[in-house]
Every structure is written in C-alpha cells, then in structure tokens.
A and B are shown apart, each in its own frame.
Chain A
Amino acid sequence: MKKILAILLMMLALPLAAQQNTATPEVVPPPPEALEGEGGLQVTVTDESAWQDLGIAIPAFATNANVPTPANTQGTAALGLELARVITADLRNNGLFRPVGPDSLPRPQYAEISAPNWGTWQVRNAQMLVHGYVRAGEDGRLTVGCYLYDMQLRNQLVREGWVVQPAEWRRAAHKCADLIYSRLSGENPFFDSKIAYIAETGPKDHRVKRLAIMDSDGANHRFITNGQTTALTPRYSPDYQSIVYLSYLNGNPRIYIYDIGTGRQRLVTQSANPTFAPRWSPDGKYILYSMAVGGNTDIYRVSAQGGESVRLTSSPGIDVGGSYSPDGSRIVFESDRSGSQQVYVMNADGSNQRRITFFGGRAATPEWSPRGDQIAFTHIVGNFRIAVMSPDGSNLRHLTNGWQDEAPTWAPNGRIIQFFRTTRGSGEATLWQVDLTGANERRLPTPVGASDPAWGPVLP
C-alpha cells in the first residue's frame, strides 16, 4: 500500500508558499479571486422528495480544471462527482446520518468550496454541508480537500486534505467520510479500512472457498487464492502487510501467513498437527492459534516471526479461538471444558482462566472490541445470533436474529460489527453488518457468496 499523505489544517489556514518546498502534502483553499463564479450555479437534478431528509448535503466536489486523470476516464470533474458519491454511501450506510448525495444537489463552483453560497443550501434545510475539491498535480497525484460546514452557524467545523495516487482516490473519499463522521459523532474513524473474507461459490457439498480482500465499502475487490484448496478464517495483520488464514494446502488444515507484497506464504508452525483459528495480537507481534494434538485442541501463541510456540491452555476440552483485549493484557476465548461451548477470559500468559458466560445456550467466537468495552460473540440458543456483552459477562444484548448469524468482527472504532449469515437449506453465506443498537442491519455487497469476515484497523 502506497502511503497516503495527510495534513490536518483544522481552522488554521496555512499559506501556500509555506508548503511548496516540502514533501508534505499541500492542502490549500481555492484562491479567493476565483469567486467570480458566484451566482452561476448549475442545478443538475431537482428532486423534491430528496430534500425532505436533507441533514448533510454532499454535493459533487469541484475541480479547478477538468483534466485527465487515471482515476476517472472523464477527468477530474467526473471524479469530483464520484468522490461525493463514495462519501455519501459511507455515511448513509453507517445508519447515523441521512446524507443527500451529489446526484440530487446543485454542483458548487470551485471558488465556493472555501466560501459556500449559504443561501443555496439554507433554503434546502441542510444542517450540515460538505464541500470539497479535487485537483490533479503535474506528477499525476490528486489533491483532495474536504470541508464540513455548520449551516446554522454558517462557519467551518473542520477541514482536511490529502494527496493520493490516482489509484487510491477512494481512500481520499473514505478519509473525508471519516473526518465528517468523527467530527459529528465524536467517535473514532473507520471507513478507511479493509476487510479480508472468504469468497464462496458452488454447491453446498462442493463449495469452493477463496481468500479475498476488499475495502470497507466493498470496492477494490480482489481474490487472493484460486480456490483449488479450501481457505478459511483469514485475519489481516494490524499493518496490513500480511494475512493469516487456514488452508487445506497439501490436504491438512494448517495456518499460513500470507505476505501480500510478495505473494508468498509460510506455515505459522512446522508441526504436522492441524492448526486453525488464527488471530493477531493488537501489536502484530504474536499470533494466537489453536492446535489439535491427538484430538485435543488447545490455544498456543507464537511470534509472528516464527520460533517456539507457547501453549496457553491445557484443559482436556476444546479450547479454541482467542481474541486479545486492545491493550494485549488479556485474551477472550471459547472452551467446552464445562460441557458446552462457553466464553472464558485469561491473562495473556494463560494464567487466571475463568468462565464469563452463564446465561444459557452456547457462547462462541468471542471477539474483543477495539475499544475494550465489549465482547462480541455468537450466542447459540437454537438459532445463532450475534450478541455483545461486557468483558465480565454482564449486559448481554442480542444484535441480530437470523437463522445462523456467526463470527462477529469489529469495525476499527468498535461501533459496528460485521458477521456472516447462512441461509437455511442452501447454506449460502453472505456478509452483513449491524450497529450496536441492532437497529441498522445491512448486507454488504460481494461478487459471490461470502463468509468469515475480518475487519482490519484504520489504514496506516
């Protein structure tokens, strides 16, 4: 991943000259002399019904000059429209806002980006207004500016800009959506992140399972394995450099660390025993995995660089999974040592193992929230439901009510959970996400069937 350059200007306007001699990205408000375009608004679409939900207006991003760019065959003007569409979709899909996108809004001129034509938006009851621009530099890189305005106060709440390679233009849109979301909600960002998952095709008894990755909104989809061997349960490393996952390569289920840059992979441990359920530590230095020896499964820890494994559990039951607390001090995992799958917590060295789920049914696939305040898991009482609880096992809340909803994974900011849903009969699997209220549930678009989602952190 090419690094994205970013600079936070907030309310401070830096002079253009101060930045030109550095490698730092330039983010500049459009020059005020361009204000001559005021009054020349072009209304592209008028849709009365769309105005009723207007909370955040996100018109197309302007450009100083419509020039060719590899990011869009029709140039930077069309790219400005696409940027606003991506931001609108991000905000709409998180369930908190009712954004109105560029397809039903007038298109502001370049000069208006730093000086909105308040009257245009005031009459449409926009409480918040997003403006932005995109400019192509001589080196081909794109500068994208993002501005959030409060219509009541008629002032700027926040602005930020990024310089990106054309191929990474969507990241600038996600960064802008993150900026808006964070400023308005007070929560940490999460849109600029990626998801690893398993793509599924074929009939139930001959299902092909491939490792695949995509952006948090489903864009930039890519298959990594070709499906000749079954792949399961991927997890992105915190630095996005590698993916740990299970493969039946050579006939046995074992965990491999796949290097995204080189395309090479290696076994997480050389043992001939089956290994599965891999998880990263928050700092990326360790991998938790489960290994069955003579039929008995326990949880082990190994350095991501290799070396000797440390056995963390030793019960005669199945101990499997495992998810670190954000500070790395504790691990939540599942065990059937009491007779059925239940959730346990232990210290990171394996000490002080104790059960935390006592509310009936089975409790599986625990995942510690990146905020540390909750644990998501699969609650099995007849059907499989996604649920959350406090790390001490109290405050159980169900978020979904499908026939088989399984394997929660947290958004990087701990506010949204993805999981996969299996259809009774066909066994077809799809990815879904739900917010912590349980009210906003949505299917994620994927090219084919999908399971085992794993949401990575915000991109570095």
Chain B
Amino acid sequence: MRHLITALTAASAFALAGCASNAPEELPPQPAPVDTPAPAPAPSGPTPGSNADFMAQMAGQNVIYFDTDKYDVDSEDVAALQAQAAWLQRYPNTTATIEGHCDERGTRDYNLALGERRANAAKNYLVSLGIDASRLRTVSYGKERPVALGSDEAAWAQNRRAATIVID
C-alpha cells in the first residue's frame, strides 16, 4: 500500500512538473489517475513457484472438503493433497498457509476449533507425504469467511473446507 501511494505521488508530481515547463496561461486540469499498466504476463503463464502458479496447477485441488462436523481426509482429499505435496516438493523454498473453514450451521467458538482441526488434518497429511511442517502454517476462520453464500446444503458443503494458499 505504501509503495502504491508513493508511486502515485511520484507520478502526480512528474505530471505537474511536465505541465509547468510549458508555462500554461491557465492552471492545468488535475492529472488523471495514472493507470500503470500491469506487467505483461509472461507467455508461459504464472511465475513458477508463485501462488498463481499453484492455483493454476491445482485447478481446484488446493481445497479439500469435509462432511458436517468432520475433519477426516477421504480418498478424494488424498488425491488433492498428493497434488499439493507434489507441487510443494517441486518448489522446496515455498511456504503455505492452510485455512480451515466451517459452514454457518455451527456455533462460533466451536467452529473456530473445528476449522483448526480441518486445517491441521490437511497439514498433517501433507507432512506425512514428506512436506516439512515448518513450511506449513494453519489458521482457522471458523464460519467467518464463507465462499458460498447460500443457506442450503450445497453452499454449506462448499464452505466446509481446508484451503491451501502459497505465500508469495
């Protein structure tokens, strides 16, 4: 954020200085916000080893899902976690956060504990696949950060999850 402000300020100052050198009769209009174009993506896709790369490679398998009140890793989750572990082994200098989440149909404190369980279940499985535990941080958001906004079983099933995010 601070960098962005600095960049904008510098850009504004530059624009003003440029106008002043032309000695205009009237005060120039306020410079329009400078839209710095995003760096053109490399033709080969996201930077290897970045979270964007991880997301692209996982194609949804960065998230595993749980049954109501459960935190066990089932066969579908195993496939996803194996894919995550393979990527993490390919980029051994990366670290990741595993977020544990719950659906809204639980009490707040219990859901914080349950989200912690789910995040740890995913972490422990990744560790069992050879990922160093020191590379994996867990955080529980309980029911505070749903991704599906409905109040029905389909939405709740999407929200009972552990999501792995690579720290860039």
Instruction: Indicate whether A341 reaches chain B with its CB closer than 8 angstroms.
Output: yes
Instruction: Indicate whether A3 reaches chain B with its CB closer than 8 angstroms.
Output: no
Chain A contacts for B119, CB-based, 8 A: 295
Instruction: Indicate whether A321 reaches chain B with its CB closer than 8 angstroms.
Output: yes
Chain B contacts for A341, CB-based, 8 A: 107, 110
- Which of B113, B145, B150 makes the CB contact (< 8 A) with A276? B113
Instruction: Indicate whether A95 reaches chain B with its CB closer than 8 angstroms.
Output: no
A408 to chain B, nearest CB (A): 11
Q: Are A297 and B113 in contact (CB under 8 A)?
A: yes
Q: Are A233 and B120 in contact (CB under 8 A)?
A: no
Q: Are A427 and B107 in contact (CB under 8 A)?
A: no
A286-321 vs B: 1/0 string, CB under 8 Å? 000010101111000000000000000000001011
6 contacts between A and B (CB under 8 A): A205-B146, A251-B139, A253-B112, A378-B107, A404-B105, A427-B151
Q: Report Cα–Cα, A253/B120, bound state, in Å.
A: 15
Chain B contacts for A205, CB-based, 8 A: 145-147, 149
B143-157 vs A: 1/0 string, CB under 8 Å? 011110111000000
Chain A contacts for B145, CB-based, 8 A: 205
- Which of B107, B124, B138, B150 makes the CB contact (< 8 A) with A425? B150
Chain B contacts for A380, CB-based, 8 A: 107
Q: Which of B105, B110, B112, B121 has the most CB of A within 10 A?
A: B110
Identify the closest chain A residue to B122 (Cβ).
A295
Q: Are A295 and B151 in contact (CB under 8 A)?
A: no
Q: Report Cα–Cα, A204/B138, bound state, in Å.
A: 23
Within 8 A of B (CB), among A122-151: none
Q: Report Cα–Cα, A296/B71, bound state, in Å.
A: 12
A151-170 vs B: 1/0 string, CB under 8 Å? 00000000000000000000
Instruction: Indicate whether B161 reaches chain A with its CB closer than 8 angstroms.
Output: no
Instruction: Indicate whether B109 reaches chain A with its CB closer than 8 angstroms.
Output: yes
Chain B contacts for A69, CB-based, 8 A: none
Identify the closest chain B residue to A451 (Cβ).
B108
Instruction: Indicate whether B69 reaches chain A with its CB closer than 8 angstroms.
Output: yes
Identify the closest chain B residue to A275 (Cβ).
B112
Instruction: Indicate whether B104 reaches chain A with its CB closer than 8 angstroms.
Output: yes
Chain A contacts for B124, CB-based, 8 A: 295
A419-456 vs B: 1/0 string, CB under 8 Å? 00010110100000000000000000000000110000
Chain B contacts for A336, CB-based, 8 A: 69, 110
Identify the closest chain B residue to A339 (Cβ).
B69
Q: Report Cα–Cα, A425/B104, bound state, in Å.
A: 10
A228 to chain B, nearest CB (A): 12
A371-392 vs B: 1/0 string, CB under 8 Å? 0000000101000100000000
A269 to chain B, nearest CB (A): 16
Instruction: Indicate whether A334 reaches chain B with its CB closer than 8 angstroms.
Output: yes
Q: Report Cα–Cα, A452/B108, bound state, in Å.
A: 9
A227-238 vs B: 1/0 string, CB under 8 Å? 000101100000
Give me the 10 closest cross-chain CB pairs, A-B, nearest first: A295-B120, A297-B113, A277-B109, A292-B116, A364-B107, A318-B113, A424-B151, A295-B117, A276-B112, A425-B151
B104 to chain A, nearest CB (A): 6
Q: Are B112 and A364 in contact (CB under 8 A)?
A: no
Q: Report Cα–Cα, A406/B142, bound state, in Å.
A: 15
Chain B contacts for A318, CB-based, 8 A: 110, 113-114, 117
Within 8 A of B (CB), among A210-267: 230, 232-233, 246, 251-253
Instruction: Indicate whether B62 reaches chain A with its CB closer than 8 angstroms.
Output: no
- Which of A204, A296, A452 makes the CB contact (< 8 A) with B149? A204
Chain B contacts for A232, CB-based, 8 A: 108, 144
Q: Which of A276, A334, A407 has the most CB of B within 10 A?
A: A276
Chain A contacts for B146, CB-based, 8 A: 204-205, 427
Q: Which of A292, A294, A340 has the most CB of B within 10 A?
A: A292
Chain B contacts for A320, CB-based, 8 A: 109-110, 112-113
Q: Report Cα–Cα, A273/B145, bound state, in Å.
A: 20
Q: Report Cα–Cα, A451/B143, bound state, in Å.
A: 13
Q: Are B107 and A407 in contact (CB under 8 A)?
A: yes
Chain A contacts for B164, CB-based, 8 A: none
Contacts A204-B149, A205-B146, A294-B120; A422 near B104 (Cβ below 8 A): yes
Q: Report Cα–Cα, A292/B121, bound state, in Å.
A: 13
Q: Report Cα–Cα, A321/B109, bound state, in Å.
A: 7
Within 8 A of B (CB), among A172-196: none
Identify the closest chain A residue to B159 (Cβ).
A205
Chain A contacts for B138, CB-based, 8 A: 295
Q: Are B113 and A292 in contact (CB under 8 A)?
A: yes
Instruction: Indicate whether A25 reaches chain B with its CB closer than 8 angstroms.
Output: no
Instruction: Indicate whether B84 reaches chain A with its CB closer than 8 angstroms.
Output: no
Instruction: Indicate whether B140 reaches chain A with its CB closer than 8 angstroms.
Output: yes
Q: Are A340 and B144 in contact (CB under 8 A)?
A: no
Q: Are B107 and A295 in contact (CB under 8 A)?
A: no
A251 to chain B, nearest CB (A): 7
Within 8 A of A (CB), among B6-61: none
Q: Report Cα–Cα, A422/B111, bound state, in Å.
A: 15
Chain B contacts for A281, CB-based, 8 A: none
Identify the closest chain A residue to B145 (Cβ).
A205
Chain A contacts for B144, CB-based, 8 A: 207, 209, 230, 232
Instruction: Indicate whether A284 reaches chain B with its CB closer than 8 angstroms.
Output: no
Q: Report Cα–Cα, A436/B120, bound state, in Å.
A: 41
B111 to chain A, nearest CB (A): 10
B81-110 vs A: 1/0 string, CB under 8 Å? 000000000000000000000001101111
